[in-house]
């Protein structure tokens, strides 16, 4: 599609990597929308080429007043992604209403709208991880963040607008550009820092008898692959709906820890610690993206393995800082 690109959350983690990928395609006509509330976001912008930066609140006002023209595609990645945020009214406005406003604006003007959903909508995983639209109304997220994303997914389905847009349910994304995320950084990022500082890695004990300590599993996806999936929906505007974005493989925290030590050229030293009581009841022991609908839609690229992604991240990014 022709016209300018808008990337909300463009100074953030996936957003800055997406802008970099657009630059790699030769695109400089990018409007970056974000809030520069952390030095890490400013660093993310330093190597990027874009036409204009707009503060998030100002952008929202411009959209309400139809003050932005010539947009071909909006990648709406900006949101509060903290799974521990408990202010439900803030999340409702920032993650749900804002997305609805921007979605309507795009559809009314014929612009492509690609937005970030999340695997957090799957809750405890008891219903599986299929992105079949018929399953979405049955999902029960475990935290207000997941619920704020679920509310928009449901609105898009109920209104029928989902047939004109694309949503991406990101699983556990890791990679360069996440330093500003604090406690929401990936365990790869945290593990590298911890091993550098102490020589060992601590992981949470398991409180589920079906999983041994460290054998809790996640679907880890490298940010490079997450961006490639996101761009697929721009490149294929006829593809609509909500799709999973993960590697399709469930890997354990021990697998991740060993990959970190290997990338750092060290023998593994892993110790298990108590999980904070506040998160035990909301803890996911298993996630694994079902990629059958994404593949059926035409996405054929191979996903990097956990070992490949961790090695690239640590050796080519974290180790150079």
pLDDT on residue 319: 83
Same domain, 181 and 242: no
Same domain, 124 and 240: yes
Known active-site residue 181: yes
Same domain, 19 and 117: yes
125 conformational bin, left if phi > 0, alpha if psi -120 to 50, beta if neither: left
pLDDT on residue 2: 67
Question: Would you say residue 301 lies in a domain?
Answer: no
Q: What single DSSP character describes residue 160?
A: S
The one-digit pLDDT tens for each residue of the chain (321 residues) are 568 999 999 999 999 999 999 999 999 999 999 999 899 999 999 999 999 999 999 999 999 998 888 999 999 998 866 677 677 887 878 789 999 999 999 999 999 999 999 999 999 889 999 999 999 999 999 888 888 999 999 999 999 999 999 999 999 999 999 999 988 899 999 999 999 999 999 999 999 999 999 999 999 999 999 999 999 999 999 999 999 999 999 999 999 999 999 999 999 999 999 999 888 888 889 999 999 999 999 999 999 999 999 999 999 999 876
Catalytic residue among 98, 115, 122, 145: 145
Same domain, 239 and 166: yes
pLDDT on residue 206: 97
Same domain, 115 and 195: no
CATH number at residue 33: 3.40.50.720
Question: Which residues form the domain of 254?
Answer: 174-217+250-286+310-320
Pair 16, 48: CB distance under 8 Å:
yes
pLDDT on residue 305: 98
Round to whole Å and give the CA distance between 171 and 186: 11
pLDDT on residue 321: 60
Question: Would you say residue 299 lies in a domain?
Answer: no
3-state SS assignment for residue 76 = strand
> Which residues are paired to 92 by β-bridges?
none
| Helix (H) / strand (E) containing 46 | helix 39-46
Known active-site residue 145: yes
Q: How far is CA 129 from CA 89, 133, 136, 159, 248, in A?
A: 27, 11, 10, 23, 10
Pair 277, 205: CB distance under 8 Å:
no
CATH number at residue 178: 3.90.25.10
Same domain, 112 and 30: yes
Same domain, 186 and 125: no
Q: How many domains does the chain have?
A: 2
């Amino acid at each position: 599609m022709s016209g300018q690109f808008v990337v909300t959350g463009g100074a953030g983690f996936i957003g800055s990597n997406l802008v970099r990928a657009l630059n790699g395609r030769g695109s400089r006509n990018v409007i970056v929308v974000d809030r520069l509330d952390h030095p890490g976001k400013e660093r993310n912008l330093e190597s990027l080429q874009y036409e204009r930066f707009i503060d998030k609140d100002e952008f929202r006002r411009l959209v309400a007043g139809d003050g932005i023209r010539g947009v071909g595609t909006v990648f709406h990645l900006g949101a509060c992604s903290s799974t521990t945020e408990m202010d439900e009214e803030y999340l409702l406005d920032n993650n749900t209403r804002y997305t609805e406003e921007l979605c309507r604006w795009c559809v009314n003007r014929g612009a492509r709208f690609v937005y970030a959903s999340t695997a957090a909508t799957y809750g405890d995983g008891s219903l599986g991880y299929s992105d079949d639209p018929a399953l979405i109304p049955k999902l029960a997220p475990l935290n207000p963040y997941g619920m704020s994303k679920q509310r928009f997914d449901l609105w898009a389905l109920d209104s029928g607008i989902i047939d004109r847009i694309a949503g991406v349910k990101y699983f556990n994304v890791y990679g360069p550009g996440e330093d500003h995320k604090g406690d929401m950084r990936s365990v790869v990022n945290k593990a590298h820092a911890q091993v550098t500082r102490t020589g060992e890695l601590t992981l949470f004990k398991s409180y589920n008898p079906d999983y041994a300590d460290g054998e809790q599993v996640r679907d880890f996806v490298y940010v490079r692959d997450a961006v490639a999936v996101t761009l697929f929906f721009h490149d294929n505007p006829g593809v609509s709906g909500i799709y999973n974005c993960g590697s399709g493989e469930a890997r354990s925290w021990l697998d991740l820890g060993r990959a970190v030590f290997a990338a750092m050229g060290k023998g593994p030293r892993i110790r298990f610690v108590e999980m904070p009581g506040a998160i035990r009841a909301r803890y996911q022991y298993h996630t694994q993206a079902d990629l059958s609908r994404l593949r059926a839609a035409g996405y054929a690229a191979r996903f990097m393995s956990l070992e490949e992604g961790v090695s690239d991240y640590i050796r080519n990014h974290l180790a150079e800082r």
